[in-house]
Amino acid sequence: MPLPPTASFVAFDCDHFTVRASRFALLSRKFRFYDEMGSLIACVKLIDYRVLSNIDVLDDSGRRTILRICERVPRWPVTYDLFDATTGNKIGSLQHRPWKSLFLEEWLILDPDDHQIGRLHQRSMLIAFLHHFLIVVPIKYDFYLGDQLVGMCRQNANPLMPKISFEFHSEHARNLDRRFAVPAAILLLENRKLEE
């Protein structure tokens, strides 16, 4: 008999959601995750914006941890493991691939046994190049499961109110756990892709 879905799986079991980051606090960052209807589904507060080693993702009430994101040691290549806080089970990992290109960014999506199942790939080399010098340039990433394009995310061009929108599509998209988008959103909004 299959186990009932956990709180984190239910929260992110949607095809469209948006992540908004607040940068007005000097020492903290807040991330709020909204579904396609605009309802809050999860939130994150980083007390020290310089540290992303351990991140608790809270439910919509802000009281219960539903996901944990942990930076792996040693730090090269940069890898973040994703855990379901209810069961303690590892969902998988995101691993930065710095050798892919000088400007294009790519993260590998790994299963719990560190086998690659997909990737998060920056779409445009020109935009990627400009983004290194102009933070107001919007960027787009594509989600691949194997070689199949299953979704995309787009970051806006407002550095004061940064936002990333996620959209998953195609018949193969249901095979990709939406919860991988949670660490992806935080890492991209915090611009941690080059800190090797």
Q: What is the arithmetic mean of pLDDT over 50-70? A: 88
- pLDDT of 121 reads 87
- pLDDT of 21 reads 87
Q: What is the arithmetic mean of pLDDT over 28-42? A: 91
* Amino acid present at 135: I
Q: Write down the residue that tokens 């080693």 correspond to.
A: 53
- pLDDT of 177 reads 92
Q: Are 85 and 70 in contact (CB under 8 A)?
A: no
Among 13-17, 90-94, 120-124, 189-193, top mean pLDDT goes to 90-94
Instruction: Write out pLDDT tens, residues 62-89.
Output: 999 999 999 988 777 889 999 999 999 9
**Pick among 2.40.160.200, 1.10.10.10, 1.20.120.1200, 3.10.520.10: CATH of 7-189:** 2.40.160.200
Band of residue 196 on the pLDDT scale cut at 50, 70, 90: very low
The enclosing H or E element of 9 equals helix 7-11
Which residue did the predictor score with more confidence, 147 or 114?
A: 114
Reduced to 3 states (helix: H, G, I; strand: E, B; else coil), residue 163 is strand
Q: Which residues of 85-95 are buried (b: 16+ CB within 10 A; e: fewer)?
A: beeeebbbbbb
**Cross-strand partners of 19:** 33, 164
- pLDDT of 173 reads 66
CA dihedral 45, 74, 66, 184 (to 10 degrees): 70
Domain borders along the chain are: 7-189
Which residue did the predictor score with more confidence, 192 or 12?
A: 12
Q: Which two tokens mark 144? A: 């691949």
Around 140, how many Cα atoms within 13 Å sit in the side-chain half-sphere? 9
What's the rounded Cα separation, in Å, for the pair 3 and 25?
40
- pLDDT of 139 reads 77
What's the rounded Cα separation, in Å, for the pair 12 and 181?
9
- pLDDT of 51 reads 58
